Structure 1
């Protein structure tokens, strides 16, 4: 019986990297937005929760029918009698009151092992609720019951119609044992919480003013800004507006940050802003910063992909242009790698424009935090 659990667990661990990859972006956005930084303990707990949910899902759903067009099951698919599993255990174990040793047979009885499995399945869930989310015991019971109900509905509906017919029964005893497991895990979390870092105190000694703005954070902001900028560019380009690239770049990355204290939409989401080394938001710094970045470093690459612009350049000059851009890209890539390994977030266009990214925080104490611009 225990061998049947190993295969679902192995599937859970194999699919975890993919699930973690999909989970990482929203996780980072929420953490930056809510806490202003990434805490390693909080990240570890939440990724363990993700791994647990994958294991629970596969343990409940596998094995599946070999075809979507599975046969109609025979017999009643709903077991609605509470604590029926106790009667099944007693009936199938051949326990005799005159033979005390016969009670040991219960420990090997499949109905008993199934009930124990259902309890242990949600113990980790209750521990997460008690330790990390700090829910009340009533909420833990409701959420554990809801999770179990979700499992049962998924099974009885054939994964919501994916299979033609149900392939597992809806058992009310599973609801009871899963809920018992959840509240058991909740109590365990309360007992051992003194041995673990307290979640509510993870951020008490964190000084956001000492935190650097990482390239990951900047990359997320750029990724959120890119679709907006591209839509604005395509809109102007569809109207054949001259200089659509420069207009959209100037409006979105210079005018907008100047009017909003150094923030674009992406920077607002992850709580960072552009400022000069003295902490102020100066128009000339924004102009020079984005002229270097989008006018030269990115701009020349964009124009090399523009057919109308390429058609005006003769053959020999075309090769020279491509060669020069490739050399520039290579130099900038090496520069970026060096800064990453040196943990220095200030790039060349920021040095020349005397600007940098800083963390912003809404409360008065951290009204404008983040390391001051350390521009060489």
Structure 2
């Protein structure tokens, strides 16, 4: 139940990182990283649940730290009746709660080691350190009552848990090395991809638009808070018309996801193209929406004029949403402001600095 919420929060930074690092989204990479997210959620819930009934939980009766390494072995031997000449007595160990607790603590971190060995290609030393760090986070979270959320600790800080969890990470790491030949090679996922043949997806454009909108509106609000009296329109002209002209069609949002604007024929976008494109998208469509948010202006215009503006904004938004849905279904035609401005988005990979170092730039 928590996974959709966590996935939603994870998706935007995940997409930005993937576009920045790889230039596109690979389905195998998406699957692996979302499985990692799902695993971590399950692992933390296994460690933390069940929670106390109240945040004002009772203080533990005994010690909250078990500092003796491998204490679980002594507990198993003490609680199991072993007979040297009776093999069945050895099998009974497998049913002992102390043994099962240690075994499941090992199993808990095996998937983490698998991810480190298969996807992240870490060294074994790094795997040991990260597995130990993950286990330490588990233990500290428990012994601090989830960092003070509960009045008292409700779990024991057990050194043996650190040992068995770290062992589980090492086992998972070794399994990943053994089975890596049966799985797609992570380092070769991008070797067959031709970014010049890929189209810029609406998801990628939407992220760039979202990032630009947040920064653009933040600048407008900041300037007004500073009483500089810089209008919405002036900021829009600088941000969407002048700035891309000197950055080869990049706004900050487009730069973050490695795309830029160009003319339909691949040449740099001209000033009139930027005026038409952004004038339609942000000047008219964005402007009419901005007017509806300016309460002082709407009061000045009067009831009739403000009502007309609100109706016009709602109608424009509805028509644009319908137009966008139709273009997403029929991908052969561009959006109206792209068609009229003769512009398009193209992928910029790698960076010009990398190209200067001898790599090929794919537009």
TM-score, normalised with respect to structure 1: 0.88
Specify the alignment match of 1:367 in structure 2: 361
Q: For the aligned residues, what is the CA RMSD?
A: 2.0
Is there any run of 5+ residues in structure 1 with no aligned partner, and where? 1-13, 370-376
Q: How far apart in 1 are the matches of 2:6 and 2:141?
A: 20
Quote how far apart the aligned CAs of 1:227 are.
2.5
Q: What secondary structure is seen at the aligned counterpart in 1 of 2:2?
A: helix
Specify the alignment match of 1:172 in structure 2: 159
Quote how far apart the aligned CAs of 1:326 are.
4.0
Q: How far apart in 2 are the matches of 1:62 and 1:145?
A: 21
Q: How far apart in 2 are the matches of 1:171 and 1:324?
A: 65
Task: Say whether the 8 Å CA contact 1:214–1:345 is kept in structure 2.
Answer: no
The answer to whether residue 350 in structure 2 is matched with residue 356 in structure 1 is: no
- Give the counterpart of 2:144 among 132, 150, 157: 157
Specify the alignment match of 1:125 in structure 2: 112
- Give the counterpart of 2:36 among 49, 56, 67: 49
Q: What secondary structure is seen at the aligned counterpart in 2 of 1:356?
A: strand
Q: How far apart in 2 are the matches of 1:203 and 1:303?
A: 46
- Give the counterpart of 1:114 among 88, 91, 101: 101
Q: How far apart in 1 are the matches of 2:332 and 2:13?
A: 26
Quote how far apart the aligned CAs of 1:226 are.
1.6
Specify the alignment match of 1:374 in structure 2: none
Quote how far apart the aligned CAs of 1:99 are.
2.5
Quote how far apart the aligned CAs of 1:232 are.
2.6
Q: What secondary structure is seen at the aligned counterpart in 1 of 2:83?
A: coil
Task: Say whether the 8 Å CA contact 1:360–1:366 is kept in structure 2.
Answer: no
C-alpha distance 16-345 of structure 1, shift in aligned 2 (>3 A):
farther
Specify the alignment match of 1:211 in structure 2: 198
C-alpha distance 319-174 of structure 1, shift in aligned 2 (>3 A):
closer
Q: How far apart in 2 are the matches of 1:322 and 1:153?
A: 54
Task: Say whether the 8 Å CA contact 2:299–2:306 is kept in structure 1.
Answer: no
Quote how far apart the aligned CAs of 1:229 are.
1.4
The answer to whether residue 312 in structure 2 is matched with residue 296 in structure 1 is: no
Aligned residue pairs, count: 355
Specify the alignment match of 1:80 in structure 2: 67
TM-score, normalised with respect to structure 2: 0.91
Range that drifts further, 229-238 or 22-31: 229-238
Q: What secondary structure is seen at the aligned counterpart in 2 of 1:122?
A: helix
Q: How far apart in 1 are the matches of 2:23 and 2:318?
A: 33
The answer to whether residue 50 in structure 2 is matched with residue 63 in structure 1 is: yes
Q: What secondary structure is seen at the aligned counterpart in 2 of 1:114?
A: helix
Q: What are the within-5 Å matches in structure 2 for residues 185-204 of structure 1?
A: 185-204=172-191
Deviation string for 1:27-66 (max 9, x for gaps)? 0010011111110000100000001101110111111211
Specify the alignment match of 2:129 in structure 1: 142
Q: What secondary structure is seen at the aligned counterpart in 1 of 2:260?
A: strand
Range that drifts further, 50-59 or 65-74: 65-74
Q: How far apart in 1 are the matches of 2:306 and 2:148?
A: 58
Task: Say whether the 8 Å CA contact 1:273–1:357 is kept in structure 2.
Answer: yes
Task: Say whether the 8 Å CA contact 1:275–1:356 is kept in structure 2.
Answer: yes
C-alpha distance 354-67 of structure 1, shift in aligned 2 (>3 A):
same
Q: How far apart in 2 are the matches of 1:25 and 1:252?
A: 23
Q: How far apart in 2 are the matches of 1:315 and 1:162?
A: 51
Specify the alignment match of 1:5 in structure 2: none
Q: How far apart in 2 are the matches of 1:191 and 1:350?
A: 51
Quote how far apart the aligned CAs of 1:330 are.
2.9
